[in-house]
């Protein structure tokens, strides 16, 4: 059995990327609570969110809801899971203490359960002088005992190496890095370099959007309507050119009585990554948990690798990724 498990992402995007937290009625709140509880009880041991999930008056709403849900878990259960958030390096969060207040607010929303803080993206492309300051600020929080772990997100191999060495000089370890990774992300040398750095330094590789915004879950000859204009445009563009890949996912799934989502998640795990899957109802939580009960064969993994390499279309690259 592959050791790396599955985490859950709770944010403001639709499932396949991040969890939809905008709810309008008490019944929705109950559904979200049950979904969260089922996921944790089923063995999903990492909860990933961000302070920027929720805009305007709903800023931090994802963290607030998670904090409320965590209050009902016993301490013994809380010790077995990792609550992680990503702090956004907004332009007004300046200097070594730029994320200090943001951390305090996130930890308050999460009811003191925040274990890992991740820099949401590198500022190298637009404010390179800020990057070292911010990572040193997270190092200060670690040394002062406020957080147990530090992680990165959307950081290329050069900046990963740089930031890793900066913290290493202080005797601090980078625990994880979070990158977009799925059967529909374009294979790249940079991604392989990141994985090599992770393997050499025991850094956990977390894969967000492992289901490509849900595209990999769509059966062949199906064209579902999505909740937003942008997602509809993306589905119309990608679905026609991914039918062969999705057909293969379906065929492999039949062997294990598993969904396409389970196959796609296990492909991510077969590459040594931990998928952060968005869920919005108990059935999706159950599906993600079921993916832990089996693994792809070497032949199945290689066949999916081949389809990925020759896939005529890919997911858009995140513009925040640094070199």
Residues identified as active-site = 53
Distances (CA, A) of 247 to 130, 155, 281: 46, 33, 25
CA dihedral 103, 109, 115, 119 (to 10 degrees): -40
The Cα 7–Cα 5 span in angstroms is 7
């Amino acid at each position: 059995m592959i050791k790396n498990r599955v985490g859950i992402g709770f944010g403001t995007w639709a499932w396949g990327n991040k969890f939809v937290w905008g709810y309008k009625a008490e019944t929705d709140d109950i559904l979200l609570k049950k979904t969260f509880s089922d996921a944790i009880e089923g063995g999903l041991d990492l909860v990933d969110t961000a302070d920027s999930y929720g805009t305007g008056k709903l800023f931090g709403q994802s963290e607030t809801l998670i904090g409320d849900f965590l209050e009902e878990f016993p301490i013994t259960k809380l010790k077995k899971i990792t609550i992680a958030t990503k702090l956004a390096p907004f332009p007004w969060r300046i200097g070594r203490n730029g994320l200090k207040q943001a951390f305090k607010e996130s930890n308050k929303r999460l009811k003191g359960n925040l274990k890992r803080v991740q820099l949401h993206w590198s500022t190298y492309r637009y404010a390179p002088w800020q990057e070292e300051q911010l990572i040193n600020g997270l190092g200060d929080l670690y040394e002062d005992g406020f957080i147990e772990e530090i992680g990165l997100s959307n950081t290329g191999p050069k900046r990963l190496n740089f930031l890793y060495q900066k913290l290493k000089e202080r005797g601090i370890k980078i625990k994880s890095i979070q990158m977009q990774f799925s059967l529909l992300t374009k294979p790249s040398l940079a991604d392989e370099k990141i994985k090599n750095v992770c393997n050499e330094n025991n850094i956990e590789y977390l894969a967000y959007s492992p289901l490509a915004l849900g595209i990999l879950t769509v059966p062949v000859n199906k064209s579902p309507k999505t909740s937003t204009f942008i997602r509809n445009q993306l589905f119309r563009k990608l679905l026609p050119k991914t039918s062969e890949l999705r057909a293969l996912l379906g065929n492999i799934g039949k062997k294990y009585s598993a969904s396409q989502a389970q196959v796609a998640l296990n492909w991510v795990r077969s590459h040594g990554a931990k998928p952060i899957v968005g869920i919005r109802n108990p059935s999706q939580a159950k599906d993600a948990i079921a993916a832990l009960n089996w693994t792809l064969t070497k032949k199945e993994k290689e066949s999916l690798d081949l389809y990925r390499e020759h896939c005529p279309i890919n997911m858009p690259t995140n513009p925040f990724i640094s070199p």
